[in-house]
Chain A
Amino acid sequence: MTSARRRSPARLDHPALLGVAGLAGLLLIVQLLPTLGLVDDRFLPPTSAIVSALADEAGTGQFWISLKDTLVAWGWGLLIAVSAGVLAGFGIGSVPLLRNLTASTVEFLRPIPSVALIPLAVLLYGTEIGSSLLLICYAAFWQVLVQVLYGVADVDPVAYETARSYRFSAAARVRHVLWPTALPYVFTGVRLAASVALILAITAELVIGSPGLGKDIAVAQASEAVPTMYALIVVTGILGVLINLLARTGERRLLAWHQSVRGEVPA
Chain B
Amino acid sequence: MRRLIYALALPVVLFAGWWVLSAGSESFYAPPLSDILTAFGDTWTLAALKADVLPSLLRLLAGYLLAALIGIGLGLAIGLNRRLRAVCEPVLEFFRAIPPPVLVPVIMLFAGIGDTMKIIVIVFGCVWPILLNTVEGVRAVDGVVLETARSYGVTGPARITKVILPSAGPQIAAGLRQALSIAIILMVISEMFAASNGLGFTIVQFQRSFAIPEMWSGIILLGLLGFALSLMFRLAEKRALRWYEGLRESQRRAG
Contacts and interface: CB of A to CB of B under 8 A. Distances in A.
Given A102-B10, A112-B226, A123-B207, 18 more contacts: A3-B82, A14-B86, A18-B86, A22-B89, A104-B7, A105-B14, A108-B11, A113-B188, A113-B223, A115-B188, A116-B222, A203-B101, A221-B108, A226-B109, A236-B102, A238-B94, A240-B99, A244-B97
Contacts of A112: 222-223, 226-227
A205 to B, nearest CB: 10
A124 B29 contact: yes
B227 A217 contact: no
B106 A230 contact: yes
B61 interface: no
Interface stretch (A59-67, A79-87, A172-180, A194-202): A194-202
Contact of A101 (B6, B103, B200): B6
B53 interface: no
Contacts of A109: 223
Interface in B220-248: 222-223, 226-227, 229-230
Contact of B90 (A20, A118, A124, A239): A20
Given A18-B86, A206-B101, A237 B95 contact: yes
Interface residues of A, number: 62
A20 B206 CA distance: 49
Interface string A149-184: 000000000000000000000000000000000000
B99 to A, nearest CB: 4
Contact of A203 (B109, B189, B215): B189
Q: Shortest 4 CB-CB distances between A and B: which pairs?
A: A240-B97, A119-B207, A18-B86, A112-B223
Contacts of A23: 90-91, 94
Nearest to A201: B99
Nearest to B100: A199
Contacts of A102: 10
A254 interface: no
Interface in B172-213: 181, 184-185, 188-189, 192-193, 200, 203-204, 206-207, 212
B110 interface: yes
Contacts of B96: 240
Interface in A200-234: 202-203, 206-207, 214, 217-218, 221, 226, 229-230, 232-233
Nearest to B228: A111
B147 interface: no
Nearest to A19: B90
A110 B207 CA distance: 23
B114 interface: no
A263 to B, nearest CB: 14
Contact of A119 (B97, B184, B193, B204): B204
A18 B83 contact: yes
A109 B105 CA distance: 29
Nearest to B177: A111
A240 B87 contact: no
A103 B6 contact: yes
B187 to A, nearest CB: 8
Most chain-B Cβ atoms within 10 A of its Cβ — which of A100, A111, A237, A240? Answer: A111
A23 B89 CA distance: 9
